[in-house]
Amino acid sequence: MGRFRTNRFNPWTNLQKTIGQKKTEAIDGDVQVFKSEHLVNIPNPYEKEKRLCILCKMNIVPDYKNTRMLSQFISRFTGRIYGRHITGLCRHKQDHVEKEIKKSREAGLMPFYFRNPEFSHDPKLFDPDNPFRPHHY
Amino acid sequence: MPSYELCLLFKVLPRPEITQCLKRTASKIFETGGFIRRIDNLGTADTPWKISSHDAIHKQASYFIVEFDVPSSALDPFNNYLSRDIDIIKRTIFKVPENIPQPACTLHEELKPPAYRSEVKEMIAIGKRKREKEARKKVQFNTGLDYMPFQR
């Protein structure tokens, strides 16, 4: 009757402890023996979920014609492009966004020194005061 | 023939005149042996700054995007032609990027603490190599003495 067995497999038990116990239990014979492989070869249960940046998650390719989207990555007051530590984009997407913003400005679609007031109240993708990684200043 | 994208800012003109302007640019593309993929009208809007061109200041413009293919040698004369068109306020030609597959997101890797980031590991390795190189340059006398016998 496996259900009533006293020493059942518990994945949360201390590995060292179970190995130590095994020697004494071997005398009983009836008890199931656990190899250390069972405990070692499981995937890390504490591994964090893989994070994706918002553009990768939504599968968006930045384009210079899409000024509304690009405007979300510049300051409303100074028109400066926010850094990677604030926007929370991956390296490639951040570079791409910066390139497209510059192209857009060159083409006369987007202002240099402010955000288009039409887009002032667009939803915020990030908070410049609480960056993903600390400011360097 | 590589494909290009032309962002055109026309003066705010009545519809028939705008079509005339577009026809002019289109026929110029066909003359050079190219072809047009599509023309988009982005509408009339305020320009982000006062743009002065051909002795006039413009605060509004009609935006058009023309996607076209021309031989790359014909691009410079074409741009020159557009610069002399008085109805065009501003024009910019971009090359259309080819369909490059987007690389996988590396945000997870970048948010790790510095010691676990591959780029930081690389930097440490460079520093280590540099220090080793400098150590090799330093002269070792191998006298087995803990003082310098030849120094005065």
Q: Return the residue matching tokens 């887009």.
A: A119
Model pTM greater than 0.80?
no
pLDDT-flagged residues of chain A (< 50): 1-2, 24-26
Give the helix/strand (H/E) hosting A63.
Answer: none
pLDDT at residue A42 in the model:
81
Is the Cβ of B53 closer than 8 Å to some Cβ of chain A? no
pLDDT digits (tens, 9 = 90+) for B6-60: 999 999 999 999 999 999 999 999 999 999 999 999 999 999 999 999 999 999 9
Q: Return the residue matching tokens 């791409």.
A: A96
SS (H, E, C) chain A: CHHHCCCCCCCCCCHHHHHHHHHHHCCCCCCCCCCHHHHHCCCCCCCCCCCCCHHHHHCCCCCCCCHHHHHCCECCCCCCECCHHHHCCCHHHHHHHHHHHHHHHHCCCCCCCCCCHHHCCCCCCCCCCCCCCCCCC
pLDDT digits (tens, 9 = 90+) for B103-148: 999 999 988 988 999 999 999 999 999 999 999 998 877 778 888 7
Q: Using alpha carbons only, how large is chain B's radius of gyration in Å?
A: 30
What's the CA gap between B9 and B1, in Å, rounded?
A: 25
pLDDT at residue A1 in the model:
45
pLDDT digits (tens, 9 = 90+) for B59-99: 999 999 999 999 999 999 999 999 999 999 999 999 998 88
Q: Cα torsion for A89, A95, A100, A101, to the nearest 10°? A: 70
pLDDT at residue B46 in the model:
94
Q: Which residues of A touch B (CB under 8 A)?
A: 50-53, 56-57, 61, 64-65, 84, 88-93, 103, 105-112, 116, 132-133
Give residue B39's identity as a one-letter amino acid code: I
Is the Cβ of B99 closer than 8 Å to some Cβ of chain A? no
pLDDT at residue B101 in the model:
86
pLDDT at residue A15 in the model:
57
pLDDT bucket at B100, cuts 50 / 70 / 90: confident
pLDDT at residue A18 in the model:
54
